[in-house]
C-alpha cells in the first residue's frame, strides 16, 4: 500500500476500505491500491500538503479598522519579510489570514509583543490547525439528494405513526418532484426535436422507472428511439415521394453534411445506427456529454449524461418490449394503491443490502426491473391475490388492445379497472413481512417464476416447453411477463441468490418482532428503519445449524464404495483448503468422530480450536501446481464415519477472485483447480506475501458420512459442519457463503481428476 495514503485509510467490514481523504469506499485491497495511486487521491494529497504548508506559515489577524484594504495589511507585515497572500474576511471585514514567506518569518511576527496598524492594536495569532476536508463539488439537485441520504430518511421514517405510514413517507421522499418530472419532459422534447431533424418520423419514447410508476429521484432516463416510421420516410424520400408532414426529410437526408446521407436505416445494423445516434447526441444535443455506445449489452444502448442536471440516460433502438412492459407496470400500479409503496420499500431495502441495482450495469445483482417483477409476482400469488395474472389480463383485453411485439403476445387492457378490485385487504406492514417470509426459503433455482401464469413453474415441465429453448436457467429463474424466453435474473449468480434468501430470512425474522410492528415510544429506531440498515440484519451470526454444507451422493464418481467416496471427499476437502485456498489445514487428534460428540457444543468448539492449532512453518508449500503432489492417500484417511480438521485462513481469498481470474492468461485457465490455486496465490501476494501474525479466520470443519440406510441414495450424503468462536461468526459469514458455492464445485473437479 502506498505509505503516504496509509493514515487516510480505514478498514470496513467484509474486507472493504474507506479513504477518508477522498470520501470513497472500495471493495478490497487491490482496489484500494488503485485508488491510492489514482489521480484524484494524488491531487487531493498534494492539495492537502499545500494547504498544510500554507497553514504553518500563516497568521490570523484581527483588531484592524473595518474596511482596511488587504494591501495595507500586506505592507505592514512586509517589514518582517515577504508576504505571499492576504485573504480578507469579505463579509464582515473583521479578520484576515496573512500567509508569510516561511516559518522563520512567522516566528518573528509572533514574537513581536505588540502590533499596531493605523492606530489600532492588532491581535495576531497562529492559525488554528484544521483537518483538511474534501468537499465534493455540489451538483444540481444535490439538495434533494441530501434529503435522501439514509440518515435523513431514517429520521423522517421514525416520525411516522406506523409501518404503513412509513411506506407512504418513503414514496413521498423518493418519487419525482414536480420540477424533476418537468425537467425530464423537457429533455425528452429536446431529444425528440433534435432526432426528428436527423431521423424524420422518429419518435423518442421514455420507458422504465421514469414513467412506469416507480420513479425514484435521480434514476436513469431510459429512452427508446422508434425508427420504424423514419425507415418508411427514408424509403419514400429515396424514391420520389416526399412525406407530407414533419421536418423536411429531404434536407436531412441529402444535404452534404448530413450524417445520414449514406445510411440506409432499413438495412443498417443496430451498432451502425447506434453509432449515428451517438454522433447526433454528441454533436447536436446541447448540454449532453459523456456519450458512449455500449454495443455488447443484451440490448445495445448509447449512454449519455445531461451536464446541467447530471441526469444519466440510455437510448436504445430495439426495445419495443420495454415500452410495452413499462405500460404494463403502470397498469399494475394503478390497479392497487398498495403496489407502489410495497415496491419502493422492497427496492430501498434491496439497495441498502446491496442485493439489487447494479449501479455500474452488468453486475450479479438483481436489476430493479427484476426486483419489481418479484414483488408483483408476490402480489399475484398471495391469498386472495391482489393482482391478476398476465394470462387473465390477456383474456380481459379488447380487440383494439391485442398486440404482438417482436413475436410475443403483449395484449392487456389499457384500463386498470379491468384488473378488478382485490378481496385482499391486508395492510402494507403485513404484506412486507409476508414477502420476506415467502422468499426466505424459495426455490429460485429449482423452478421458474412466471408472472404470466402467476405460479412457480416446475423446471422439468418448463424445460419441455417451447419458451425454454433460449431461456437461460440459473440460480434465479424469473421469466419476463411477455418475452417468455428471457430470464430477467439470468445475471444473478449463486452467491447473490443465496444472499437474497438469507437477507429475506433475517428480514422475515425481524418483521415478527415488536420493534418492526410498533412505533418506539422511547425514540429508538423502529419499523422500516432497522430493516434498511445496510447489512445489519444480514450480519447476524449464522447459527450452527446453518453452518453446514451437504455433499450429495450424486457427487460420487465411478463405482466407488461409500467408504472410498468418503475418503476421497476428505482428501478433496483437505486439498481445496490447503492447496487451492492456501489455508492452513490440519487434522485434529481429537476423536470428534466419536459417537455423541457434537461440534455445536461450545466446549467442543473451544477445545477444537485450541487443539493442534499451530501456525504452520513456511515449508515452501505454496506450489502453484497442486495436482502435482496429490492425491494424498496417507494414513490420515479416516476409517471412521467422520474426520475433523482445524483451519486457519490468512488472506481474503474469497474476495475479488473474478477480477483476478479475468486477468490471467487463457492458457493458465485450462485446469480449474490450478487456476483457482493461482488466484488464491495472487490474492495472498497482493495482500503481502508474508502471513500476518494472526489468521483472519480460524475454525474447525468436520466431515461426516450420513446414511440412515445406505440403500437410500437420496438421503446419503456427507455433511461438512463448521464450528468457530462466536466472536468470529460475523466475519466468517462471507467466507462461508463463498464456500457454499466454491467448495462443492472444486470437490467435483477434484473427484473427476481422481478417476483413472
Sheet of strand 115-117: strand arrangement = 83-88, 95-100, 58-62, 120-126, 115-117
Options 42, 367, 493, 536; binder of ligand UTP; rule CB under 6 A: 367
Quick check: 316 binds ligand UTP (CB under 6 A)? no
CB of 326 to ligand UTP, least distance (A): 5
Question: In this complex, which beta carbon is closest to ligand UTP, that of residue 210 or of residue 749?
Answer: 210
CB of 34 to ligand UTP, least distance (A): 26
CB of 295 to ligand UTP, least distance (A): 17
- Separation of alpha carbons 99 and 515, rounded Å: 56
- Of residues 512-541, those binding ligand UTP (CB under 6 A): none
Question: In this complex, which beta carbon is closest to ligand UTP, that of residue 219 or of residue 428?
Answer: 219
- Of residues 208-247, those binding ligand UTP (CB under 6 A): 208-209, 212, 214, 216, 219-220, 222
Question: In this complex, which beta carbon is closest to ligand UTP, that of residue 368 or of residue 716?
Answer: 368
CB of 368 to ligand UTP, least distance (A): 3
Is the CB of residue 720 less than 8 Å from the CB of residue 701? Answer: yes
| Closest residue to ligand UTP using C-beta atoms | 208
Quick check: 369 binds ligand UTP (CB under 6 A)? yes
Quick check: 322 binds ligand UTP (CB under 6 A)? yes
Question: In this complex, which beta carbon is closest to ligand UTP, that of residue 361 or of residue 534?
Answer: 361
Quick check: 33 binds ligand UTP (CB under 6 A)? no
Among the residue ranges 64-72, 90-98, 113-121, 206-214, the one whose residues contact ligand UTP (CB under 6 A): 206-214
Among the listed residues 724, 748, 719, the one whose alpha carbon sits nearest the alpha carbon of residue 606: 724
Is the CB of residue 225 less than 8 Å from the CB of residue 255? Answer: no
DSSP notation for 663-675: HS-GGGGSSHHHH
- 70 contact partners, CB below 8 Å, separation of at least 6: 86, 87, 88, 96
**Could you tell me which residues are beta bridge partners of residue 550?**
719
Question: In this complex, which beta carbon is closest to ligand UTP, that of residue 58 or of residue 210?
Answer: 210
CB of 360 to ligand UTP, least distance (A): 12
Q: Name the CA radius of gyration of the chain, rounded.
A: 32
Among the residue ranges 49-57, 179-187, 204-212, 628-636, the one whose residues contact ligand UTP (CB under 6 A): 204-212
3-state secondary structure of 620: coil
Question: In this complex, which beta carbon is closest to ligand UTP, that of residue 68 or of residue 326?
Answer: 326
Quick check: 326 binds ligand UTP (CB under 6 A)? yes
CA angle 114, 115, 116 (to 5 degrees): 120
- Of residues 692-731, those binding ligand UTP (CB under 6 A): none
Question: In this complex, which beta carbon is closest to ligand UTP, that of residue 487 or of residue 644?
Answer: 487
CB of 563 to ligand UTP, least distance (A): 48
Among the residue ranges 365-373, 416-424, 547-555, 557-565, the one whose residues contact ligand UTP (CB under 6 A): 365-373
Q: What is the 3-state secondary structure (H, E, C) of 299-335?
A: CCEEEEEECCCCEEEEEECCCHHHHHHHHHHHHHHHH
Q: Where are the alpha helices (DSSP H) in 315-472?
A: 320-335, 339-352, 368-381, 390-396, 428-440, 459-463
- 301 contact partners, CB below 8 Å, separation of at least 6: 274, 293, 294, 314, 315, 316
Is the CB of residue 732 less than 8 Å from the CB of residue 697? Answer: yes
- 177 contact partners, CB below 8 Å, separation of at least 6: 144, 217
- Separation of alpha carbons 592 and 590, rounded Å: 6
Among the residue ranges 225-233, 361-369, 509-517, 543-551, the one whose residues contact ligand UTP (CB under 6 A): 361-369
The CA distances from residue 51 to 38, 127, 551, 645, in Å, are 20, 12, 60, 55
Quick check: 207 binds ligand UTP (CB under 6 A)? yes
CB of 386 to ligand UTP, least distance (A): 19
Quick check: 488 binds ligand UTP (CB under 6 A)? yes
Positions touching ligand UTP (CB under 6 A) are 207-209, 212, 214, 216, 219-220, 222, 321-322, 325-326, 367-369, 372, 488
Amino acid at each position: 500500500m502506498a505509505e503516504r495514503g496509509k493514515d487516510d485509510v480505514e478498514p470496513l467490514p467484509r474486507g472493504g476500505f474507506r479513504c477518508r481523504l477522498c470520501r470513497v469506499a472500495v471493495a478490497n485491497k487491490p482496489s484500494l491500491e488503485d485508488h491510492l495511486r489514482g489521480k484524484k487521491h494524488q491531487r487531493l494529497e498534494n492539495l492537502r500538503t499545500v494547504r498544510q504548508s500554507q497553514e504553518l506559515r500563516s497568521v490570523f489577524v484581527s483588531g484592524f479598522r473595518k474596511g482596511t484594504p488587504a494591501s495595507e495589511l500586506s505592507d505592514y507585515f512586509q517589514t518582517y519579510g515577504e508576504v505571499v497572500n492576504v485573504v480578507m474576511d469579505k463579509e464582515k471585514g473583521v479578520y484576515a489570514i496573512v500567509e508569510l514567506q516561511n516559518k522563520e518569518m512567522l516566528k518573528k511576527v509572533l514574537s513581536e509583543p505588540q502590533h499596531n496598524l493605523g492606530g489600532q492594536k492588532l491581535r495576531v495569532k497562529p492559525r488554528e490547525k484544521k483537518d483538511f476536508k474534501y468537499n465534493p463539488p455540489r451538483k444540481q439537485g444535490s439538495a434533494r439528494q441530501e434529503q435522501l441520504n439514509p440518515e435523513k430518511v431514517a429520521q423522517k421514517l421514525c416520525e411516522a405513526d406506523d409501518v404503513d405510514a412509513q411506506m407512504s413517507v418513503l414514496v413521498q421522499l423518493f418519487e419525482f418532484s414536480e420540477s424533476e418530472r418537468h425537467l425530464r419532459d423537457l429533455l425528452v422534447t429536446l431529444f425528440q426535436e433534435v432526432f426528428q431533424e436527423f431521423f424524420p418520423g422518429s419518435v423518442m419514447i421514455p420507458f422504465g422507472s421514469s414513467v412506469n410508476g416507480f420513479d425514484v429521484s435521480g434514476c436513469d432516463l431510459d429512452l427508446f428511439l422508434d425508427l420504424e416510421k423514419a425507415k418508411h420516410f427514408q424509403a419514400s424520400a429515396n424514391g420520389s415521394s416526399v412525406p407530407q408532414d414533419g421536418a423536411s426529410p429531404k434536407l436531412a437526408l441529402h444535404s452534404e453534411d448530413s450524417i445520414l446521407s449514406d445510411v440506409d436505416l432499413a438495412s443498417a445494423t443496430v451498432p451502425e445506427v447506434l453509432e449515428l445516434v451517438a454522433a447526433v447526441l454528441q454533436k447536436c444535443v446541447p448540454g449532453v456529454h459523456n456519450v458512449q455506445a455500449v454495443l455488447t449489452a443484451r440490448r445495445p444502448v448509447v449512454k449519455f449524461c445531461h451536464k446541467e442536471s447530471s441526469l444519466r440516460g440510455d437510448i436504445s433502438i430495439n426495445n419495443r418490449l420495454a415500452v410495452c412492459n413499462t405500460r404494463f407496470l403502470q397498469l399494475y400500479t394503478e390497479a392497487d394503491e398498495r403496489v407502489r409503496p410495497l415496491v419502493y420499500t422492497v427496492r430501498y431495502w434491496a439497495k441498502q443490502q446491496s442485493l439489487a441495482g447494479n449501479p455500474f450495469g452488468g453486475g450479479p445483482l438483481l436489476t430493479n426491473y427484476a426486483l419489481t417483477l418479484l414483488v408483483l409476482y408476490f402480489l399475484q400469488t398471495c391469498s386472495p391475490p391482489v393482482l391478476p395474472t398476465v394470462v387473465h389480463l390477456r383474456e380481459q383485453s379488447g380487440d383494439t388492445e391485442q398486440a404482438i411485439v417482436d413475436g410475443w403476445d403483449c395484449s392487456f387492457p389499457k384500463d386498470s379497472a379491468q384488473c378488478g378490485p382485490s378481496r385482499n385487504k391486508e395492510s402494507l406492514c403485513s404484506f412486507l413481512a409476508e414477502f420476506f417470509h415467502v422468499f426466505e426459503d424459495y426455490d429460485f433455482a429449482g423452478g421458474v417464476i412466471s408472472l404470466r401464469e402467476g405460479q412457480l413453474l416446475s423446471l422439468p415441465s418448463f424445460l419441455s416447453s417451447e419458451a425454454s429453448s433460449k431461456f437461460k436457467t440459473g440460480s434465479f429463474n424469473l421469466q419476463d411477463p411477455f418475452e417468455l424466453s428471457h430470464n430477467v435474473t439470468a445475471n444473478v449468480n449463486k452467491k447473490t441468490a443465496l444472499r437474497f434468501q438469507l437477507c429475506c430470512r433475517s428480514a422475515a425474522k425481524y418483521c415478527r418482532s415488536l420493534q418492526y410492528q410498533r412505533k418506539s415510544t422511547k425514540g429508538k429506531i423502529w419499523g422500516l428503519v432497522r430493516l434498511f440498515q445496510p447489512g445489519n440484519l444480514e450480519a447476524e451470526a449464522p447459527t450452527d445449524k446453518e453452518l453446514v454444507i451437504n455433499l450429495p451422493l450424486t457427487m460420487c464418481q465411478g463405482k466407488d464404495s461409500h467408504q472410498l467416496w468418503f475418503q476421497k471427499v476428505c482428501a478433496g476437502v483437505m486439498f481445496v483448503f490447503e492447496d487451492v485456498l492456501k489455508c492452513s489445514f490440519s487434522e485434529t487428534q481429537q476423536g470428534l468422530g466419536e459417537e455423541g460428540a457434537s461440534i455445536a457444543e461450545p466446549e467442543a468448539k473451544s477445545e477444537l480450536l485450541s487443539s493442534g492449532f499451530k501456525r504452520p512453518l513456511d515449508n515452501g508449500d505454496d506450489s502453484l501446481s497442486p495436482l502435482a503432489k496429490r492425491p494424498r492417500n496417507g494414513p490420515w484417511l479416516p476409517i471412521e464415519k467422520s474426520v475433523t480438521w482445524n483451519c486457519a485462513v490468512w488472506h481474503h481469498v474469497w474476495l475479488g477472485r473474478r477480477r483476478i481470474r479475468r486477468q490471467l492468461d487463457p492458457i493458465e485457465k485450462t485446469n480449474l483447480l490450478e487456476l483457482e490455486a493461482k488466484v488464491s496465490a495472487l490474492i495472498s501476494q497482493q495482500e503481502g506475501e508474508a502471513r500476518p501474525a494472526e489468521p483472519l479466520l480460524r475454525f474447525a470443519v468436520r466431515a461426516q458420512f450420513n446414511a440412515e440406510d445406505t440403500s437410500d441414495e437420496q438421503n446419503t450424503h456427507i455433511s461438512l459442519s463448521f464450528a468457530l468462536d462466536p466472536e468470529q461468526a460475523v466475519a466468517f459469514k462471507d467466507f462461508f457463503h463463498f464456500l457454499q458455492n466454491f467448495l462443492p464445485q472444486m470437490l467435483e473437479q477434484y473427484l473427476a481428476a481422481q478417476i483413472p
